[in-house]
């Protein structure tokens, strides 16, 4: 016969939970047990009577659920059972209401589908998450995704695929922002603290310090009124609007231009990939070139230095940005352009990659890519130039209205 002694109540302690390693079931009281499996794993189990039948309800592993949390969960489920409800149904509803990261990503993708004019861009958005994130924590509920989870995704590709890593980071952030706004999680976005665990991307082949694309228009406005030399100001704006590398701009010569067709052809020896690169010139770029022609006094270089025989120094942009107290590099504006194209437009990815003269890593794709998408790139670069000068246009419109 069973003894009539007092039923145990809060028999376990946090210290004892950590110390128990012998396989078995250890009672805490009121139907709550700590189960130690032969593997050494520990989990919480609640035994409760539901509608006259005994039910065992798992409350989670002891490594994630503390003793106090297990007691709190057990108490809430016992109350449901006591009131005639089904705690198992309640738990299933709780789990169903909070989606996994994969489900949340699919929902965010669906919500934004109408805003993507180009289907391929929308496909790339979700495919990036499927490739890099879902295998790691796709089946984790969004309220349980933490910064270390994000770090494990980004760390392997942060230095080797910087552009991809930044897109992955941005898309994880978008999904987690949606989860918080939808009431599925509390606290900070787990992406916010991940930067502290990643190395600085400023070596060869890595991402240079870049300005957020939303700040570029205001910067261009500030640039035009800065105390830097006029030829230097024109050169940096030209670099930004063409998304070119510093050496490509500083060593540019007038013979490389076809102004009738608004085209700049950079010779192969000055390109990183060793191939000729054609750059469509926006209306603002043509204005810059007309101003540079007046300042150049017949120089071969478009942006000459102190003498017409030599170009501007390769340190001129860095020094100017430092004087403006900005922690960005001239090269970083290429990243600003890439982020703008990816996040604020419907231009296909390959058009932006071609504009940046990036090497196509996929050899099969490279073999079939014969053209350079010139007309599509011309449309893109004109849109980028308008985006970068919108602050000036707005200011001019305001002044006109005031007059």
Query: For 292-312, how does the pLDDT look when each residue is reduced to its tens digit (9 = 90+)?
Result: 999 877 789 999 988 888 899
Record the pTM.
0.51
Q: Is residue 2's pLDDT more than 50?
A: no
* Dihedral, CA of residue 163, residue 167, residue 173 and residue 178, to nearest 10: 170
CB atoms within 10 A of CB 17: 18
Q: Residue with structure tokens 């022609």?
A: 293
**Mean local confidence (pLDDT), 59-79:** 86
CB atoms within 10 A of CB 367: 9
**Mean local confidence (pLDDT), 36-52:** 86
Of 50 and 208, the one with more pLDDT: 50
In CATH terms, 101-197 corresponds, of 3.30.1280.10, 1.10.150.130, 1.10.645.10, 1.10.10.10, to 1.10.150.130
Task: Report the run of H or E that residue 25 belongs to, with start and end.
Answer: strand 24-29
**Mean local confidence (pLDDT), 256-272:** 93
Could you please state the CATH topology (level 3) that the domain comprising 213-402 is classified under: hpI Integrase; Chain A (1.10.443)
Helices (H), 265-311: 283-296
Question: Which pLDDT score is estimated for 277?
Answer: 93
Query: For 385-398, how does the pLDDT look when each residue is reduced to its tens digit (9 = 90+)?
Result: 999 987 555 444 44
| Domain positions in the chain | 14-97, 101-197, 213-402
Q: Is residue 383's pLDDT more than 80?
A: yes
Of 352 and 195, the one with more pLDDT: 352
**Mean local confidence (pLDDT), 159-166:** 82
Q: For residue 37, what are the CA distances in angstroms to 22, 44, 47, 93?
A: 8, 11, 17, 28
Q: Is residue 236's pLDDT more than 90?
A: yes
Between 95-109, 144-158, 244-258, the lowest mean confidence (pLDDT) is in: 95-109
Instruction: Find out whether 99 and 184 touch, Cβ atoms under 8 Å.
Output: yes
Query: Pick from 75, 98, 79: which is nearest to 28 by CA?
Result: 75
Q: What is the CATH number of domain 14-97?
A: 3.30.160.390
Instruction: Find out whether 243 and 384 touch, Cβ atoms under 8 Å.
Output: yes
Query: For 314-370, how does the pLDDT look when each residue is reduced to its tens digit (9 = 90+)?
Result: 889 989 998 988 888 899 999 899 989 887 888 888 888 899 988 655 444 444 455
d(Cα 71, Cα 283) in Å, to the nearest integer?
Answer: 69
Q: Is residue 4's pLDDT more than 80?
A: no
Task: Give me the residues paired with residue 194 across strands.
Answer: none
Query: Mean pLDDT for the chain?
Result: 84
């Amino acid at each position: 016969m069973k003894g009539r002694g007092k039923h145990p109540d809060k028999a376990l302690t946090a210290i004892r939970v950590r110390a128990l390693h012998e396989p078995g079931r250890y009672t805490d009281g009121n139907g709550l047990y700590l189960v130690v499996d032969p593997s050494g794993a520990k989990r919480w189990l609640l035994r409760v009577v539901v509608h006259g039948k005994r039910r065992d309800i798992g409350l989670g592993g002891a490594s994630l659920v503390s003793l106090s949390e297990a007691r709190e969960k057990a108490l809430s489920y016992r109350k449901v059972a006591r009131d005639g409800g089904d705690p198992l149904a309640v738990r299933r509803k709780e789990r169903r209401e909070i989606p996994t990261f994969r489900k949340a990503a699919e929902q965010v993708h669906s919500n934004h589908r109408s805003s993507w004019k180009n289907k391929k861009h929308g496909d790339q958005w979700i495919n990036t998450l499927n490739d890099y994130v879902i295998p790691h924590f796709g089946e984790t509920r969004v309220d349980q995704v933490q910064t270390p989870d994000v770090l494990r995704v980004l760390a392997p590709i942060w230095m080797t695929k910087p552009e991809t890593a930044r897109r992955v980071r941005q898309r994880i952030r978008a999904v987690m922002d949606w989860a918080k706004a939808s009431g599925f999680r509390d606290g900070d976005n787990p992406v916010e603290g991940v930067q502290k665990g990643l190395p600085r991307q400023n070596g060869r082949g890595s991402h240079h310090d870049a300005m957020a694309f939303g700040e570029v228009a205001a910067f261009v406005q500030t640039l035009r009124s800065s105390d830097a030399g006029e030829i230097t100001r024109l050169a940096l704006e030209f670099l930004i609007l063409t998304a070119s590398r510093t050496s490509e701009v500083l060593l540019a010569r007038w013979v490389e231009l076809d102004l009738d067709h608004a085209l700049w052809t950079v010779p192969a020896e000055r390109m990183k990939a060793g191939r000729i690169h054609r750059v469509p010139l926006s209306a603002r770029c043509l204005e810059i070139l007309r101003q540079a022609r007046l300042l150049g006094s017949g120089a071969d270089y478009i942006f000459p230095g102190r003498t017409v025989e030599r170009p501007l120094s390769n340190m001129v942009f860095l020094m100017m940005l430092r004087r403006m107290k900005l922690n960005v590099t001239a090269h970083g504006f290429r990243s600003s352009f890439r982020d703008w194209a990816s996040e604020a437009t419907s231009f296909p990815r390959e058009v932006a990659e071609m504009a940046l003269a990036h090497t196509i890593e996929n050899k099969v794709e490279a073999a079939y890519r014969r053209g350079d998408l010139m007309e599509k790139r011309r449309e893109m670069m004109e849109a980028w130039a308008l985006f970068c000068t919108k602050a000036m246009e707005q200011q001019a419109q305001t002044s006109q209205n005031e007059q």
